[in-house]
Amino acid sequence: MNYTIYNPKTGEIIATPMIGDPTLVQLNLGDSTYIEGNYLSNQYYIDIATKQPIAIPIKPFAGLNKYTFDWPTKTWIINQSETEFAVRAQRNSLLNQTVDQVNPVWYASLTQEQQQELSTYRQVLLDVPSQSGFPTDVSWPTKPTWM
């Protein structure tokens, strides 16, 4: 028989063991409880009032924003640290694309206008973490067309 063990305060599914004797499930529950059936934690939570499985809402997708499911509210919330990591990685990747141009030999081959564009572009990228909406609402600079 399949069982779904869950946290009775949040509805978060902890495990889905297959055990022949239901009394064995009760032995090691601690603060948890269970229902019959096999409901995966990445697809369901248990409604505390009805003790019924409810499908977890579809995770939102919004660019570099990373989301975590909040069990008490049953909603997806932006994970600030993961989002910040993703935005910084994107910024670093864009900065790495300018490495050849800041090499003294390459830089000298640029026109004065291109050097200024490059300098401005790189500075705006470096300042991304200082933007007021960082990390969830970032204004990315436009890459110079000649790059």
d(CA 52, CA 97): 51
Residue ranges of domains in the chain: 3-56, 80-130
Would you state the pLDDT for residue 27?
65
Region of 11 on the Ramachandran plot (φ > 0 left; ψ -120 to 50 alpha; else beta): left
Residue 94 has pLDDT above 90, yes or no: yes
The contacts of residue 145 (CB under 8 Å, 6+ apart) are none
Contact of 1 with 34, CB cutoff 8 Å: no
Q: Report the percentage of the chain scoring pLDDT > 90.
A: 70
Spatial CA neighbour of 34 closest among 75, 6, 68: 6
- pTM of the model as a whole: 0.74
Report CA 119 to chain centroid distance, whole Å. Answer: 31
Mean pLDDT along residues 42-53: 95
Contact of 69 with 40, CB cutoff 8 Å: no
Residue 21 vs residues 3, 33, 41: alpha-carbon distances, Å: 11, 15, 22
